[in-house]
Structure 1
Amino acid sequence: MLLQVNYLIRSRKDGKYLVARLPEKSGIEASYLLVFQQDYDALSYINTHGKEYGDLLTVETASPTQLKSLMLRWSYAGFGIVKDPLVPDIQFVS
């Protein structure tokens, strides 16, 4: 499990990670960190949905322990695991 590598998209400008924001039952927006299983999936996502921001974004690797730290530090509600970057098909996990 510790050998699994995940890929995240991060802004070069302000260091923030790419998230999906979903409304919760309480009416407050919750942020879900978008996680990709392959680096080429993350790059495909950028090229398909944010081509004009491609030079401002970078793909980073993260282990499961690093993801746990990010969850705590940035107070994310969960992960959005991107299954298909072109559609996009995202599975949300709290």
Structure 2
Amino acid sequence: MFTKSYYLLRSTHDGQYLAAKPRNIENSQGFLMLFKADHEALSYVNQHAAEVANRFSVEPISGQQLKQMIDRWGYAGVGVVNDPLVPEVEFLSKQ
């Protein structure tokens, strides 16, 4: 996981990254959503949030930077999006 490059969706409004937040865990930053390609990130936001798609930008991140970002922002782990249209997401906890 740390040798690959991924893509993130970041809000141009407040700078927050797209994260999945579990309903049953209070005060959690959630899981940082990762995409394997930039076009998959765009497909995801256009399919599931078309009305706000123009408020997001796609940013690349190396696998080496990923752990530092998870720790810095306090994420519980990552959600790797395998299919952006369904969506099919594999959640991985940092523990």
**TM-score calculated relative to the size of structure 1:** 0.89
Matches within 5 A, 1:61-80: 61-80=60-79
**TM-score calculated relative to the size of structure 2:** 0.88
- Structure 2 stretches lacking a partner, 5+ long: none
In 2, Cα distance between equivalents of 1:8 and 1:47: 14
Superposition RMSD in Å: 1.6
1:82 aligns with 2:81: yes
Identity %: 43
- Residue 59 of structure 1 aligns to which amino acid in structure 2? V
Kept in 1, the 8 Å contact 2:3–2:64? The answer is no
Matches within 5 A, 1:2-81: 4-23=4-23, 27-28=25-26, 30=28, 31-81=30-80
1:28 CA displacement: 2.7
In 1, Cα distance between equivalents of 2:85 and 2:27: 24
